[in-house]
Amino acid sequence: MKVTKSTLMFAVAAVVFQMPAFAAVTVEECVTIDAKPETVWKALHEYQKEDKAFHKKIVSSTPNSVTLKEEFAKMPIIGTTFLNYIEVSKPEEHRIEYRLTETGVVNKFDGAWIVEESKDGNGSTLKVVTTIDSWVPAPFKNKVLRSSTKKGMEKRLAYVKDYAEHHSVSN
């Protein structure tokens, strides 16, 4: 049997494109909010307490940190899993950093919420950056993780935006 160069290249490409990606995925999303940074900051802390919409519960808390257990249901590739993570508030930076406290199917989950005043001074920008990875080997894993993470981030940003613009006492 004679193996041609094009057959060999095709075989290598088939293997490479079916191999799981081993690098973590970083996703960044942001939203403009018609509210002052202080109001967005308060709305962000209200989001931390929201358990029904995001299937999470507060395990413990201190004045500047919250440890959470959150269910991520029906994630592609991974299935339903629980993440245990801590969010640490840095009020002087208008930033909340989070990181995984227990590994499982997801072996990397960290990032930050960042509140910034808009350039024109009439509102705020809320940005969330997440790095996530799973040890589960699967084809196109990173593409699926990126898409799933982006969808979750958009839902969370929409919640904080709505709360800051419509439910807070002062803008």
Question: What is the CATH number that goes with domain 20-167?
Answer: 3.30.530.20
Mean pLDDT (the chain, rounded): 84
Q: In terms of pTM, does the model score above 0.85?
A: no
List, for residues 14-54, the tens digit of each pLDDT value.
Answer: 344 444 445 799 999 999 999 999 999 999 999 988 877 78
**pLDDT reading at 87 higher than 80:** yes
Distance CA 2, CA 112 (A): 55
Q: Please name the residue that has the structure tokens 């994630």.
A: 75
Bridge partners of 62? Answer: 65
Distance CA 142, CA 105 (A): 14
Backbone angles phi, psi at 135, to 5 degrees: -75, -10
Handedness of CA 43, 165, 157, 118 (dihedral sign): negative
Q: Report the pLDDT value the prediction gives residue 18, as an integer from 0 to 100.
A: 44
Domain ranges of the chain: 20-167
Distance CA 133, CA 109 (A): 7
Q: Report the pLDDT value the prediction gives residue 137, as an integer from 0 to 100.
A: 81
% of the chain at pLDDT higher than 90: 54
